[in-house]
Amino acid sequence: MYWDRSTETMERDTLESLQLERLKKTVEAASRSEFYKDRFSSNNFDPAGISSLDDIRRIPFTTKDDLRESWPYGCVAVPKDRLVRLHSSSGTTGRATVIFHTAHDLDAWTDILARAMYMTGMRESDVFQNMMTYGLFTGGLGFHYAAERIGALTIPAGAGNSKRQIQLMKDFDTTVIHIIPSYALHLTEVFEEVGVDPRKDTSLRIAFLGAEPHSEKTRQKIQEYYGVDAFNSYGLSEMNGPGVAFECPEKQGMHIWEDNYFVEIIDPDTLEPVREGDEGELVLTTLRREGMPILRYRTKDLTRFVPGPCSCGRTHRRISRITGRTDDMLILKGVNIFPIQIEKKLMEIPGVGNNFLIILEREGYNDLMIVRVEVLREFFSGNLKQLEQLRRKITEELRSDILITPRVELVEPNTLPKTEGKAVRVIDNRKD
């Protein structure tokens, strides 16, 4: 039942000594990158001065902006020749966050993800259909290699093409799927349409749900409809991607692999650690990455430690479902979207007024983004066709930028709440 028994069930103090040893190495490696070399010297931090895990608190936090500003190679800590792959965060505009990996990094990532998948009960006899986008997005290739490492027959189905997905499941007796939860819900309609009952007509038994937060209720729905055991997972490209934390069969929180990550949960205002069990922002440090080590990365994701040991026997602590974000990032159909991207794009389009509002709705099983845009008073020429053209242009420009087709609605000037300051620009009406 364990992929790596000694690591997964390691006594806490042994685990912590391992963490300290790896933290020292990581900090030392990081100091060879341009970004951390500057960061350490401007903060008078001596990379050789780590003697306990608590010393990590003397290291300044790293943010997404830091990664953007040190783009592309500022955080790379090894000669470029040693890098073998890069991945990039999903859906961001302009300077995306790029993460570089050495062969060793990919091997370690594959290992923890295989560990997680094995933990849920997946074995080499399984047939794994990976229904995630391959490419820059980490969810495709990450799971792909981990499934192969377990020895499962792996179908690189990729995202979309719903009817073919169902056909593949039937043709090759797929037993395990990796799928975005909103897509899993959407796919139920296609199952109805083609007259296939996943409970009777397929061999599905496990589903990995990832790339976007979802509720317990959504999990229940998916389990019921597909007749599978569905597992929640957590990851972010800055920390490799999927596999950072994963549910065990107990499903009481996600085990976060502490031999690979040093975990802190902080109060996003005071930046001090919260009391064990309280909600706060997850802060992660890579402990096994050599190509691009990242220290104290502020994920902006809100969670809490699940107190006490897990009855599965694993000693790595568990975090709860992600309950929200400390920033205004939206996740729609697995794509990360920042309202600022939308604002920037809108303001480039002639005819667009000053204010806009983003509304997220759930229509049936589909998530929908409505962008309500004020028309510039001077733009109006009394012509309906011109307004229609404006609407089409906005839709097209946004689609090419955020990869999602919004429903654009034009409204009269000065009818939306002002967008300056901290006004609410996003209304999320998605409910289960």
Which residues would be at the binding site for another protein (CB under 8 A)? 375, 377, 380-385, 387-388, 409-415
Q: Based on the number of CB atoms within 10 Å of its own CB, is 82 exposed (0-12), middle (13-18) or buried (19 or more)?
A: middle
**Distant-in-sequence, close-in-space partners of 49: CB < 8 Å, separation ≥ 6:** 55, 58
Query: What's the CA gap between 300 and 338, in Å, rounded?
Result: 13
Query: What are the φ/ψ torsions at residue 430 (nearest 5 degrees)?
Result: -75, 120
DSSP 62: B
Give the shortest CB-343-to-another protein separation in angstroms: 21
What phi, psi does 236 have (nearest 5°)? -150, 150
Q: At its nearest, how many Å lie between another protein and the CB of residue 417? A: 16
DSSP element (H, E) containing 209 = strand 206-209
Rounded Cα gap, residues 272 and 285, in angstroms: 16
Query: Of the two residues 2 and 380, which places its CB atom closer to another protein in the complex?
Result: 380
Q: Which is nearer to another protein, 266 or 390 (CB)?
A: 390
Q: Alpha helices, DSSP H only, in 61-161?
A: 64-69, 103-119, 138-150
Write down the least CB distance from residue 408 to another protein, Å: 10
Q: Which is nearer to another protein, 319 or 416 (CB)?
A: 416
* Sheet containing strand 366-375, strands side by side: 407-411, 366-375, 352-363, 426-428
Whole-number Å distance between alpha carbons of 261 and 270: 23
Least separation in angstroms between CB 193 and another protein: 27
Question: Which CB, 80 or 385, lies closer to another protein?
Answer: 385
Rounded least distance, CB 317 to another protein, Å: 49
Q: Give 12 or 392: the residue with its C-beta nearer to another protein.
A: 392
Q: How far is the CB of 387 from another protein (least distance, A)?
A: 7
Instruction: Tell the smallest beta-carbon distance from residue 368 to another protein (Å).
Output: 14
Nearer to another protein, 220 or 414 (CB): 414
Q: Please say which residue, 94 or 382, places its beta carbon nearer to another protein.
A: 382
Q: CA triplet 390, 337, 394: central angle to 5 degrees? A: 5
Closest to 300 measured CA to CA, from 318, 317, 323:
323
